[in-house]
Each structure stands twice: as structure tokens, then as C-alpha cells.
């Protein structure tokens, strides 16, 4: 069974999507439609902008979404048995399995990115990658700290990203190193994604998601919030709204997809991060880029 997986923020690079634009008339048409919907030429920033341009959340998220969804639309014989996306990638997955239209997906991603950037600017916050500790130990230490700091991305066994206030992350990194973490690395991100600090963005996105039509998908999506297979549109919407303030359970998603019969994981979009994480969950998993 083919599992198509879609990357999230951090996978971007200057030049992404340029080959698609130049070699496929369908891709060119969709990129131009995106420029029109967004009201600025995101293709200029993607193909020949700077790293700094692409690192702005309001640019990064639509850029990765566009690269992934347009690539999926140009794949011959694209017949997914199951899909999943890491954080932002969940929106790409929902367009790929036809739960959302391309246009609606892009509008939601753009609103999500703007709302998240606003929340980040309102309260400085950050994230850190913790390597080499059991998830339970990280969870317990986060709970013991008198600041906002929570597990945000369960990426693979022994790799958990935490999210919270500047002070909370600093205290947590010290405590986690003392508890035996191999590394506790603050990340270069705009804010505390997948934490309670994203509540203003979640509330804003909820309104947009609830006013958007979701269709019954072609195949199940394994969602970030609970790592379970979902096909019911109302449930998909509810999970998508909760996603902004809840952790991404990627380890569990990979485990559940394998348990449900995934024989090949195909990463659709920039980079190969998800293939690496899936291999850490199960070294025998077959992975490739689209």
C-alpha cells in the first residue's frame, strides 16, 4: 500500500518548484493561480528570493504547500492508499486526497500562516529539539516547569521538539541536558508552534476552517492530533483546528500507517526530512521522494 507524506515548515529552499513551473503547463497554471489568490508573486520568492524571504512564516507555509500540492497533481498514476502531513503538511495531504480543493487549501494555509506570524510577534517564544531522551522523561520535565513549555513534535523515537516561552525553553533545555539528553538545541523558528501560545491563531483559523467546505476524501488521512486514520469531513475539520495548539504525533502516525499495511512511503514536496524520520521509526520501511 502506498502512503504519501507531505513535509512541513523547515523544508523550504530557494529554487523550490522552479523545475515544475518550467516543465509542466499544469504546474505553471497552478502557480500563476496561486500568485493571483495570494495577491503577490510568491513564485518570485520561491524561485529566486533569499533565504530570509522564505523564512517568513507567511511566505514559508504557502510556498511549501504549493510545492507539495502541485507536485502531487503532476504525478502520473497518483493513487494514494493513505496520506499524512507533518504540521502544515496536513493541508497539502488534504488537497492531495481531495478533501479540500487546491484554492481552498491555499487560502486556509495563507490565513494560518498570517495568524501564526501575528501570534509569534505578540509574544516572543521559541522551540528546541531534544535528542536522546525517552518521550516520558521529556514530558515529565516539561510538566515540572512553572512556565509554558510543552512537547510539540514527536518526530521519531529519541527526537522530540518542545515549544514554549523563551524562559520556559531555556529552563527546559538545562533540565533536559542534566537528565541525560544528548542534545538540547534551540531552533531558528518564529515562535512556539503547537503550544498553548498559538491559541489566538487557533481561534482565528477555526472561523476560516468552519466556513470552508470539506469533502469525503479519496483515502484516509492520519492526522497530527491523534495519529489515527480519519475519513469523516467533520472530524477532519475538528482535528485540523486542534492541530495548532496540540503536538504533532509523527512517530505514532508512521507506526500506525505501517501497522495498517503501508509498504512504501513517498514524500511529496521539498526535502527528505520525513523519509529520515520514518526510517528511525522503522529501519526497514521503504521510502522515496516523489
C-alpha–C-alpha distance, residues 4 and 80, integer Å: 6
Active-site residue, from 68, 87, 110, 246 = 87
Using the 8-state DSSP alphabet, how is residue 128 labeled? E
User: Which one of 156, 194, 195, 246 is the catalytic residue?
Assistant: 194
**Nearest-angstrom CA–CA distance, 258 and 153:** 19
Distance in Å from the first CA to the final CA of the chain? 15
Sheet harboring 183-186: ordered strands across?
Answer: 149-156, 159-165, 125-131, 183-186
What are the E-state strand segments in 196-270? 221-222, 229-230, 264-267
Determine whether 87 is an active site residue: yes
Q: Which residue has the cell 477532519?
A: 236
Active site residue 86: no
List the catalytic residues.
87, 194
Amino acid at each position: 500500500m502506498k502512503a504519501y507524506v507531505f513535509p512541513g515548515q523547515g523544508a523550504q529552499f530557494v529554487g523550490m518548484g522552479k523545475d515544475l513551473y518550467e516543465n509542466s503547463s499544469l504546474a505553471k497554471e497552478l502557480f500563476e493561480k496561486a500568485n493571483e489568490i495570494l495577491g503577490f508573486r510568491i513564485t518570485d520568492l520561491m524561485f529566486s528570493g533569499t533565504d530570509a524571504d522564505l523564512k517568513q512564516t507567511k511566505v514559508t507555509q504557502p510556498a511549501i504547500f504549493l510545492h507539495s500540492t502541485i507536485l502531487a497533481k503532476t504525478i502520473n498514476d497518483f493513487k494514494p492508499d493513505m496520506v499524512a502531513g507533518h504540521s502544515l503538511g496536513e493541508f497539502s495531504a488534504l488537497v492531495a486526497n481531495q478533501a479540500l480543493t487546491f484554492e481552498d487549501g491555499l487560502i486556509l494555509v495563507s490565513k494560518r500562516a498570517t495568524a501564526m506570524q501575528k501570534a509569534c510577534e505578540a509574544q516572543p517564544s521559541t522551540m528546541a529539539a531534544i535528542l536522546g531522551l525517552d518521550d516520558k522523561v521529556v514530558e515529565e520535565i516539561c510538566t515540572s516547569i512553572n512556565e509554558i513549555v510543552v512537547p510539540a513534535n514527536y518526530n521519531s523515537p529519541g527526537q522530540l521538539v518542545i515549544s514554549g516561552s523563551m524562559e520556559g525553553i531555556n529552563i527546559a533545555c538545562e533540565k533536559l541536558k542534566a537528565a541525560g539528553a544528548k542534545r538540547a538545541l534551540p531552533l531558528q523558528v518564529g515562535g512556539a508552534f503547537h503550544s498553548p501560545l498559538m491559541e489566538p491563531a487557533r481561534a482565528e483559523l477555526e472561523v476560516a476552517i468552519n466556513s470552508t467546505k470539506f469533502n469525503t476524501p479519496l483515502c484516509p488521512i492520519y492526522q497530527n492530533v491523534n495519529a489515527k486514520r480519519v475519513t469523516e469531513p467533520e472530524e477532519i475539520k475538528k482535528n485540523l483546528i486542534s492541530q495548532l495548539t496540540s503536538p504533532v504525533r509523527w512517530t505514532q502516525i508512521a507506526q500506525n500507517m505501517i501497522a495498517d499495511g503501508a509498504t512504501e512511503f513517498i514524500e511529496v514536496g521539498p526535502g527528505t526530512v520525513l523519509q529520515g524520520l520514518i526510517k528511525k521509526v522503522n529501519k526497514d520501511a521503504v521510502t522515496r521522494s516523489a
